[in-house]
Amino acid sequence: MNRLLANPFIRIALGFIAPLLLFGWWQWQTSTHVTTFAPPSAIGKAFAEMIGDGTLASGIQATLRRAFTGLAVGAPLGIAIGMATAVWRPLDRVLSPLLNALRQVPMIGWLPLMGLWFGVGEGTELIVVSMAAFFPSMLNSHAGVAQVERRYLDVGRIYGFTTPQRFRLILLPAAMPMILTGLTQALAFSWIATIGTEILMGADAGLGVTMQLAQTQQRLDMMLVVLAATAALGFAINQAFLRLRRFLLRWQPSAL
Amino acid sequence: MSVDPLSRPETKAQPLQKGALTISDLNKSFVIGKKPRLVLENIELTVQPGEFVSIVGASGCGKSTLLRLIVGLDDEYSGEIRLDGERISTTSLDRGIIFQDHRLFPWMTLEQNIELALLNTDTPKARRAQIVADHIALVNLKGFEKAFPHQLSGGMAQRAAIARALVTEPKLLLLDEPLGALDALTRVHVQNELQRIWMAQRSTMVMVTHDVEEALYLGDRVIIMSPNPGRIRRIVEVDLPHPRDRRSPLLHRLKDEILAELTTGAAIGNAPSNLIHLHGREER
């Protein structure tokens, strides 16, 4: 079996088994429950339609822009604050209780308040997506730096490292596996938060907006196209990120 | 090379010597469970420039603590530790250390790990690559420059750590059970390399080990410490030229004596009697 898995084609082909089974079951279901299931054949038509009028492209573009803008704001801030609180105890004492309490509120829970403060719109959505990216980045970066082994810091002292050297050559690389774990979570959370806020608050365009629209128009086929697009995009982004992670952590034994 | 601590020369009398270590009236305690516990008591030791001193003793006798103090990772002690007359209070590039675990940074290649030691020296940047390459060759690791530590065997990683410690040419090199984690064959091999390197560089070296044979093979003197609290119990002179022959009858006789000394257990208390000199002369 392991020898089979060594073949990249077989490895990829195995990943298609479950989706194809799902697809078959679905086709079978649509022949008996016509109203709640759209047949896969109808999806193809809807897909062509949504490509044609540009709904899909503009939706994907708007959602990606929102998710990555939020990530670009929230994640660096989270990494910076997480590392700073791990290095500097007083800051930790001041900030961590508040932040740890705030993170108990689910992202969706912020929407009513944020809507009241900033109005329903792009700004509010970006704040919520940024927050979704911020917390996992902060927590994991903090843990990563806090877990740096003293024996490595001793080496830095012996060779007279300055504070910037200690940060760049010890703390940052030693914490990197955890920082990247945080980023993986931030990526997933900001993706969820983006689509969630799009559904709940609406916007000019976006995959969530299209889903909402499809629901009001009872377009089951459209809804399924958007779902499939969301799943595929999220999967592709995650895969790309895993590659980046493997490259950045190439110094680790590849036993896992 | 016999040094009587009671009549040791004043530090001012040896201004030109490089790597002279003087420890006097050193006491160190840790607070364990709110109670201070003495781990080193009245340590008196003078190490000549270029001398190789081994320290052996049961675990818990404060050997490693002593090295941490000398290297400057811990500065809470009473008494004096001086290198070439200067009191030690923090780390310095004059003093290097090799730990039992290699402590290479896993995120750097072997080459980068060695080069980082030169980061804060005044070695010209242009020469650094060459110096690093020379030291990699010195410890027989040519061809592994780009390897990450997890790709090296234990012995190779330890030799890389030795190269990293030597690259700054410290006046004093401390070795904290550097070969303890190696298998017997690799250990003998690295011991030979250490001896070769020491003979070539002649920097002062102080090595802690639990291997009496290793202590005798490498050391000009072997310091025997006793635990609770850690004290110097005996100093054994090993009057044999380097490089040494492992089969030397003198080494074997001294080994038996030291092992007997270590296994007699209870330390005999008072300060003067814990400095008995066993003079080893080779019978011809």
Residue B93 to chain A, least CA–CA distance (Å): 6
Residue A14 lies in a domain: no
Which residues of chain A from 143 to 202 reach within 8 Å of chain B, CB to CB?
151-152, 154-155, 157-162, 165, 169-170, 173-174, 176
How far is it, in rounded angstroms, from Cα B221 to Cα B209? 13
Mutation to test the A interface, candidates B107, B116, B150, most A Cβ within 10 Å? B107
Range with lowest mean pLDDT among A146-160, B248-262, B265-279: B265-279
The number of distinct structural domains making up chain A is: 1
Q: Which fold has domain B16-94+170-280?
A: Rossmann fold (3.40.50)
Looking at the complex, does the CB of residue B160 fall below 8 Å from at least one CB of chain A?
no
φ, ψ (nearest 5 deg) of residue A134: -65, -50
Q: Which residues of B touch A158 (CB under 8 A)?
A: 71, 73, 91, 95-97
Q: In what order do the strands lie in the sheet with B204-208?
A: B95-98, B172-176, B204-208, B52-57, B221-226, B231-238, B276-280
* C-alpha–C-alpha distance, residues A120 and A70, integer Å: 16
Which residues of chain A make contact with B93, given a CB cutoff of 8 A? 159-160
Can you give the residue range of the structural domain that contains A45? 41-248
Report ipTM for this prediction. Answer: 0.82
The alpha-carbon gap from A171 to the nearest alpha carbon of chain B, in Å, equals 11
pTM: 0.81
Measure the CA–CA gap between B219 and B238, rounded to whole angstroms.
7
Q: Any CB–CB contact under 8 A between B78 and chain A?
A: no
Query: pLDDT (tens digit, 9 = 90+) per residue, B164-211?
Result: 999 998 999 999 999 888 888 888 988 998 898 898 888 899 999 989
Q: For residues B182 and B21, is the Cβ–Cβ distance under 8 A? A: no
Size of interface A-B (CB pairs under 8 A): 53
The count of residues in chain A is 256
CA distance A153 to chain B (A): 10
Confidence of residue B277 (pLDDT cuts 50, 70, 90): low
Residue A5: per-residue pLDDT: 79
Any domain includes A223 = yes
β pairing state of B95-98 and B172-176: parallel
Our CA-based measurement puts residue A96 at a distance from the nearest CA of chain B, in whole angstroms, of 29
B107: contact with A, CB 8 A cutoff? yes
Q: Looking at CA atoms only, how far is residue B273 from chain A in angstroms?
A: 36
Q: What percent of chain B has pLDDT over 90?
A: 57
**Section B104-111 average pLDDT:** 96
CB within 8 Å: A160 and B148: no
Angle between helix axes A172-201 and A107-118 (nearest 10 degrees) is: 60
**How far, in Å, are A151, B152, B210 from residue B107 at the CA level?**
14, 13, 31
Q: Give the tens place of pLDDT for each residue, A76-134.
A: 999 999 999 999 989 999 998 999 898 888 888 888 888 888 888 888 889 999 999 99
Decide if B91 and A152 are in contact by the 8 Å CB cutoff: no
User: Is residue B106 within 8 angstroms of chain A, CB to CB?
Assistant: yes
CB pair distance less than 8 Å for A251 and B101: no
Report pLDDT digits (tens) over B58-98. 887 888 899 999 999 998 999 999 999 899 889 999 999 99
Q: What is the pLDDT of residue B17?
A: 53
In the prediction, which pLDDT does B268 show? 46
Candidates A159, A245, A246: best to mutate against B (most CBs of B within 10 A) is A159
Contacts of B99 in chain A (CB under 8 A): 151
SS3 state at B220: coil
The answer as to whether A23 is a domain residue is no
Burial label, A197 (beta-carbon count in 10 A; 0-12, 13-18, 19+): buried
Secondary element (H or E) of residue B190? helix B184-201
The predicted structure's pLDDT at residue A165: 95
Whether residues B99 and A151 touch (CB distance < 8 A) is answered with: yes
Q: What are the pLDDT digits (tens) for B34-58? A: 888 899 999 999 999 999 999 998 8
Where does chain B hold its CATH 3.40.50.300 domain(s)?
Answer: 16-94+170-280
CATH number at residue A187: 1.10.3720.10
Contact A251/B91, CB-based, under 8 Å? no
Give the whole-angstrom CA distance, residue B129 versus residue B212.
38
Flag if B120 and A160 touch (Cβ within 8 Å): yes
Of A108-117, A173-182, A228-237, B107-116, give the lowest mean pLDDT range: A108-117
A247 interfaces chain B, CB cutoff of 8 Å: no
